[in-house]
Amino acid sequence: MANVLQIDRMSKSFSGTRVLRSVDLAIRPGEVHALVGANGSGKSTLIKILAGYHAPESETAVEVGGVRVQLGHPAAAREAGLRFVHQDLALVETLNVIENLALGRGFTTGAAFRIRWNVERKKATAMIRSLGFDFDVSRPVGDLAAAERTGVAIARALWDWESGAKVLVLDEPTASLPKADVEVLFEAIRRVRERGLGVLYVSHRLDEVFFVAHQVTVLRDGRRVGTFDTAELSEDRLISMMIGVTPDQERKHLVREQGRQFVETAEDRVAALMLGEPAPAVEETAVRPSTEAVLVVRGVQGDVVRGIDFDAHAGEVLGFAGLTGSGRDEVLPLLFGAAPRIGSVEVDGSKVSPANVRSAIKHRVSLVPANRHRQGLMLSMTVRENCTLTSFGHLTGLLGAIRAQRELTEVREWIARLDLRPPDPRRITSSLSGGNQQKVVLSKWLRLRPRVLLLDEPTQGVDVGAKAMIHQLIVQEARTGVAVVIASSDDEELAAICDRVLVLRDGEITAELRGEEVTVDALGRLALASAQTPDASIVA
């Protein structure tokens, strides 16, 4: 069967640095082809070239449906039949579904150029239902569930699929989705496949790759390591190829510094490799979870959260689990004052004012937000500027001027501690990979030496290596006596690093798991997902 997408010798350099080196990739009609690799491997550059954001080098050859394509402009990519759904979805949340589907193409009009809303509504409803979704297209996109918003983005990308769409590129489509919503998205992908389109699926979630993809191409340092049938691979082997080690080099033991052994997963073995040796035994001075309540929460309410009570203790990693809409994604902004709330929040016995971020910071509360691009970083600023943005106090001299050398010295210390790559404080933050951007967000809040560290989806959209390093950093912070609170849609993440997990459903805490009770299976059952974890691949 002829390939619907054929990439030969794709290459790209920036300022003399080679970021893609003669990469080949082919997708057949009706095939889901996964593209994986660590941050900085070249995945994003390859996608941006296909989208027309970057022009490839002269030796690159790309064919879509057997026709040679001259890439370098978005119009050329669309004309060729390439369609894209990027991680941020590019939806306008205040507009309804009909209006979002019309962005870029315009509306159907009648006499006097009046919009034919009935026609648009029928078309929008039919398109949404063809992908397996069923919701009111008159609703604002901001009111939809996460999977439904992704469905709107796919529907917009494939609006005219009968007249030209050949390949759908999905860039980290499940980065912010819980498992129940992921399954809804997979059903939409199945329907896209049935139309004969090829799907290029980019994800850091390797379990999804094995579930949804027929083939997988691995990139490392801008080179194609290889293309493989997913049925022939194991997760261990795939990770080994991504990070450039052989299975017999893998360390199989990573002892958690708080006293309980990590769940032995491929991710933990990656962490051990990155750390060199297994983590040392806990020192006598290390802080273990104690009965000292650093954070005391009583009767906190928001739009979804309804009167929750809990304590977080010194040296403890406390997790919040739950489906989208359960209140999990609201609870940490409420505690930090980033959203209006009712109820009491105390840190070390002192009340934190509601809806007041300054009060939270004053009481040594730090929040790493879920959306690093919109809420965590100034992408046009340098690493140095972002890192020190939270406080200039001890960096200023006479007349409030920032002492540049003192600032630079401190930033370099954080760069070294978090292994930021490249280790350049003057680097523009938008040019960093997702994992390294997240490290910058962590540094700007950790430098405040918090008593309470709030982490909202701390490893969303980062590769397995960066994820393991961030997990280790979280454990180290808890050792110093910090109360760490994590809200995550990743049950494996919660099971790996939390001492205790509270499960939210319908805005209320419905269950609590401790120690060895915290397992992926237990969290899934207690969250009462509307769709069960699939027991078979969608690959046909």
Residue 459 belongs to some domain of the structure: no
Q: What is the pLDDT of residues 231-275, one digit of tens each?
A: 999 888 887 888 775 444 433 333 333 333 333 444 444 444 444
Q: Write out the two tokens for 286.
A: 């290390």
> Length of the chain, please?
540
Residues facing residue 511 across a β-bridge: 503
Domain boundary among 408, 423, 448: 448
pLDDT at 243: 73
Q: What is the pLDDT of residues 29-85, one digit of tens each?
A: 999 999 998 767 889 899 999 999 899 999 999 999 999 998 888 888 988 999 998
- Report d(CA 87, CA 79) in Å as an integer: 22
Residue 471 belongs to some domain of the structure: no
Q: Which of 104-108, 115-119, 270-274, 294-298 has the highest mean pLDDT?
A: 294-298
SS3 239: helix
Residues 6+ apart with CB under 8 A from 485: 295, 312, 318, 319, 320, 332, 335, 452, 453, 454, 455
Domain boundary among 185, 212, 247: 247
3-state helix, strand, coil split of the chain in percent (to 5) is: 35, 25, 40
398: left (phi over 0), alpha (psi -120 to 50) or beta: beta
Identify the residue whose tokens are 């760069």.
415
Domain that holds residue 235: 5-247
- pLDDT-above-70 percentage for the chain: 85
Residue 539 belongs to some domain of the structure: no
157-171, 181-195, 212-226, 281-295 — which is least confidently predicted? 281-295
Residue 48 belongs to some domain of the structure: yes
| Cβ-contact 488, 457 below 8 angstroms | yes
pLDDT at 1: 64
Does the bond joining 534 to the residue before it have cis omega, within 30 degrees of 0?
A: no
What is the residue-averaged pLDDT of the chain?
Answer: 84
Nearest CA to 249 out of 218, 276, 217 is that of 276
Number of H helices, E strands in the chain: 17, 20
| Cβ-contact 9, 31 below 8 angstroms | no
In 10 A of CB 202, how many CB atoms? Answer: 21
- Report d(CA 46, CA 130) in Å as an integer: 29
Q: Are strands 350-351 and 342-347 parallel, antiparallel or unpaired?
A: antiparallel
- Report d(CA 61, CA 449) in Å as an integer: 52
| Cβ-contact 152, 97 below 8 angstroms | yes
Residue 95 phi, psi (nearest 5): -90, 155
| Cβ-contact 242, 462 below 8 angstroms | no
Distances (CA, A) of 189 to 130, 150, 158, 183, 255: 11, 11, 12, 10, 39
- pLDDT at residue 496 tops 50: yes
Residue 69 belongs to some domain of the structure: yes
Domain boundary among 247, 272, 295: 247
Residue 210 belongs to some domain of the structure: yes
For residues 376 and 237, membership in a common domain is answered with no
- Report d(CA 496, CA 268) in Å as an integer: 9
pLDDT at 335: 97
- pLDDT at residue 331 tops 90: yes
Distances (CA, A) of 205 to 74, 390, 464, 467: 28, 32, 8, 11
At 311, the pLDDT band (50, 70, 90 cuts) reads very high
Q: Which 8-state DSSP code applies to residue 282?
A: P
User: Exposure of 110 by Cβ count < 10 A (0-12 exposed, 13-18 middle, 19+ buried)?
Assistant: exposed
Q: Write out the two tokens for 304.
A: 């979804």
User: Exposure of 405 by Cβ count < 10 A (0-12 exposed, 13-18 middle, 19+ buried)?
Assistant: exposed
Residue 277 belongs to some domain of the structure: no
- Report d(CA 288, CA 510) in Å as an integer: 26
The CATH number for 223's domain is 3.40.50.300
Does the bond joining 173 to the residue before it have cis omega, within 30 degrees of 0?
A: no
pLDDT at 277: 42
- Report d(CA 86, CA 380) in Å as an integer: 20
Q: What is the pLDDT of residues 74-113, one digit of tens each?
A: 888 988 999 998 877 888 989 999 999 988 788 888 888 8
Residue 362 belongs to some domain of the structure: no
290 or 367: which leads in pLDDT:
367
Number of domains forming the structure of the chain? 2
Q: Which 8-state DSSP code applies to residue 222?
A: T
